[in-house]
Amino acid sequence: MIPILSLLSLFALSTTGTFGAPTEAATIAGQCQSIPLLRRNPSPYDIGRLGALAKRQRDNVILKYGGQTKQRRSTGYNSIVDQQFDSSYYGTLAIGTPAESFDVILDTGSSDLWVTGSSCGTACGTSATLNPSSSSTFQNLTTPFSIKYGSGNAEGYLGQDVVQMAGFSVSNQSFAVVDLVSDGLLTSPMSGLLGLAWSSLAKSQQTPFWQTLAASNAWDSPLFAVQLTRYSNASNAKTPEPGGVLNMGTCYTNSSLYTGSIEYIDIPGTPSYWYLPLDSLTVQGNSITITSGTTAAIDTGTTNIGGPASSIQAIYANIPDSQPATGEWEGYYTYPCSTTVNVELSFGESTWSISPADFAFSRITSTSTECLGAFFELTTDTDPAWIIGDAFLKNVYSVFRYNPASVGFANLSSVAIAENGVGGTVPSATIGAVSATVVSTSTAPRSYALSTSLSALFLTFSAIILL
Ligand SMILES: *[C@@H]1O[C@H](CO)[C@@H](O)[C@H](O)[C@H]1NC(C)=O
Ligand SMILES: *[C@@H]1O[C@H](CO)[C@@H](O)[C@H](O)[C@H]1NC(C)=O
Ligand SMILES: *[C@@H]1O[C@H](CO)[C@@H](O)[C@H](O)[C@H]1NC(C)=O
Ligand SMILES: *[C@@H]1O[C@H](CO)[C@@H](O)[C@H](O)[C@H]1NC(C)=O
Ligand SMILES: *[C@@H]1O[C@H](CO)[C@@H](O)[C@H](O)[C@H]1NC(C)=O
């Protein structure tokens, strides 16, 4: 039996380096296609001539239709913050008139937006809270709201107001004002959670912010993309640290963050979670048997990776001297930190590696030579049988596409990799200028309800939808 004393004891490893200089980002309008970008040396003569021609044609079109030059913003980004050594990642949005900003967990594993209300008082900690009566545009929908996650509950009522993020605004977005939150669900400065999965999962039965934007063609391309940083193996990592970026409406604005092609895999069936068939998994090069047709939810709101007990046991059977952890870590396994564990996952044709640094979730105490592995046993009675959290997502550039409904992965660029573990300025909560505003479509019909019993630790923010 192994006593497990501390939760986030970190590796004491040294690191040096600075942020890599950003390379020039290529911007291409339209759909994100699976093609690598190449830069050519342009002939100055051609560029000048084509530029003049293009401007003339555009001026003519504007004249002909009597229109004005449209300044509609169709892509935007939000800087992410890495909280507690890769345990959670949050971004910033703004609510109300005048707009007030809130830090919210970015969660592709659920579909509701909620923030703590001022009526919550000290129970909601020291984070910013929303005071509905100080927003001139707030409307009380007076519908009770409650949601249960793997790690706690949130309760309150539904309201509607202007919600802004990444340069986009939805003028009547429904969300929950929460006045009861389980202990430990939020840590300062987080005030709530932004669900980035599909409307059929929404406990509030409201259309999620991202889905309203995608469905209203507010974006250049109907997708958002996420890059997450790794600080778990950095010496002197603080909390918070810069966490990466959430791009809305494009994956090309920051093509400097990935290389090669984006490999898309369609969501099989009705989208609810962002789920994909998990085709294969290897540990130290050995294949683990995966039940055919098993799906995996791609979940930025979960720290680690959960799967069926039989598969998790098979993973650790390939790691000498590993054993089931006990007590509060039941469902997890320990193994010697000196073992470098390589895991690869395949979705569709492509295979993606998980860095050994992400497999080594934590030392069990700061001086122990035993580590806790990132893969844990998940007991769900329905698909998705796997929850693929940040331990995987830190290793890829992830694209969440509305139409066709799919998830894409690409290799991170050296620019993105250079952001891992090197410190820097944590993005502050700011409300960017809004240049595209849309209205929310009417309330989302609940196509079906999912019932899961996700009980594992560190399954941070996968919603449990109760019938
Ligand atoms: C952290 O892990 C990454 C990926 O395995 C590795 O490239 C990097 O060198 C590690 N950092 C430290 C400080 O060991
Ligand atoms: C693109 O990524 C680079 C490197 O992280 C960053 O410096 C730059 O601000 C990003 N640009 C956008 C538009 O996100
Ligand atoms: C909104 O309605 C709920 C339920 O009727 C109520 O508990 C809450 O106090 C109201 N909030 C405001 C700001 O009026
Ligand atoms: C990602 O990088 C690996 C290793 O360099 C390479 O084998 C693989 O083909 C790349 N995948 C894509 C989709 O570019
Ligand atoms: C938002 O406003 C539009 C236009 O006023 C209306 O059609 C739509 O039903 C509203 N959406 C919600 C969720 O109330």
Please give the average per-residue pLDDT across 407-436, as a whole number: 87
Same domain? For 43 and 180 the reply is yes
Q: How far apart are the first and last CA of the chain?
A: 38
Predicted confidence at residue 150, as pLDDT, reads: 73
Does residue 411 have its Cβ closer than 6 Å to ligand 4?
A: yes
Pick the catalytic residue from 179, 220, 299, 390: 299
Q: Is residue 267 part of a domain?
A: yes
Predicted confidence at residue 23, as pLDDT, reads: 25
Query: Rounded CA gap, 178 and 266, in Å?
Result: 34
Same domain? For 131 and 30 the reply is yes
Same domain? For 247 and 274 the reply is no
Structural domain boundaries enclosing 380: 260-393
* Residue 221, both tokens: 């391309």
- Catalytic-residue membership of 107: yes
Query: Rounded CA gap, 153 and 56, in Å?
Result: 58
pLDDT band for position 318 (cuts 50, 70, 90):
very high
Contact 134, 142 (CB under 8 A): no
Predicted confidence at residue 387, as pLDDT, reads: 94
Q: Is residue 94 part of a domain?
A: yes
Q: Report which residue type is found at 136.
A: S
Same domain? For 163 and 44 the reply is yes
Q: Is residue 466 part of a domain?
A: no
420 pLDDT more than 50: yes
Same domain? For 101 and 231 the reply is yes
Does residue 353 have its Cβ closer than 6 Å to ligand 1?
A: no
Query: Rounded CA gap, 392 and 415, in Å?
Result: 19
Same domain? For 231 and 265 the reply is no
Three-state DSSP at 361 gives strand
The region of weakest confidence among 57-71, 267-281, 413-427 is: 57-71
Q: Is residue 1 part of a domain?
A: no
Pick the catalytic residue from 82, 107, 112, 358: 107
Query: Rounded CA gap, 199 and 388, in Å?
Result: 20
Percent of the chain with pLDDT over 90: 59
CATH code where residue 163 lies: 2.40.70.10
Please give the average per-residue pLDDT across 134-160, as a whole number: 93
Q: Which is nearest to 228 in space by CA: 240, 254, 210, 246?
A: 246
- Tens-place pLDDT, residues 96-105: 999 999 999 9
Predicted confidence at residue 206, as pLDDT, reads: 95
Predicted confidence at residue 121, as pLDDT, reads: 82
pLDDT band for position 126 (cuts 50, 70, 90):
confident
Pairing mode of beta strands 295-298, 333-336: unpaired
Single pTM value for the model: 0.83
Please give the average per-residue pLDDT across 306-312, as a whole number: 94
Same domain? For 91 and 196 the reply is yes
82, 337, 355, best to mutate for ligand 1 pocket (most atoms within 8 Å of CB)? 355
Contact 231, 303 (CB under 8 A): no
Q: How many helices (H) and strands (E) does the chain have?
A: 6, 28
pLDDT band for position 255 (cuts 50, 70, 90):
confident
Same domain? For 237 and 365 the reply is no
Please give the average per-residue pLDDT across 399-414, as a whole number: 97
Q: Is residue 283 part of a domain?
A: yes
**Which residue's alpha carbon is nearest to atom 10 within ligand 1?**
233
Q: Is residue 114 part of a domain?
A: yes
Same domain? For 246 and 267 the reply is no
Q: Which is nearest to 399 in space by CA: 64, 33, 91?
A: 33
Query: Rounded CA gap, 25 and 28, in Å?
Result: 10
Same domain? For 445 and 297 the reply is no
Same domain? For 150 and 271 the reply is no
pLDDT band for position 292 (cuts 50, 70, 90):
confident
**Ligand number with the minimum distance to the CA of 421:** 1
Does residue 75 have its Cβ closer than 6 Å to ligand 5?
A: no
- Catalytic-residue membership of 321: no
Does residue 15 have its Cβ closer than 6 Å to ligand 1?
A: yes
Q: Is residue 139 part of a domain?
A: yes
Predicted confidence at residue 443, as pLDDT, reads: 67
Domain count, the chain: 2
Q: Is residue 456 part of a domain?
A: no
- Tens-place pLDDT, residues 4-50: 222 222 222 222 222 222 222 223 333 443 332 222 222 233 333 33
- What is the CA(143)–ligand 5 centre distance, in A? 17
**Which residue's alpha carbon is nearest to atom 5 within ligand 3?**
142
Same domain? For 160 and 306 the reply is no
447 pLDDT more than 70: no
Query: Rounded CA gap, 200 and 401, in Å?
Result: 16
411, 412, 417, best to mutate for ligand 4 pocket (most atoms within 8 Å of CB)? 411
205 pLDDT more than 70: yes
Does residue 441 have its Cβ closer than 6 Å to ligand 4?
A: no
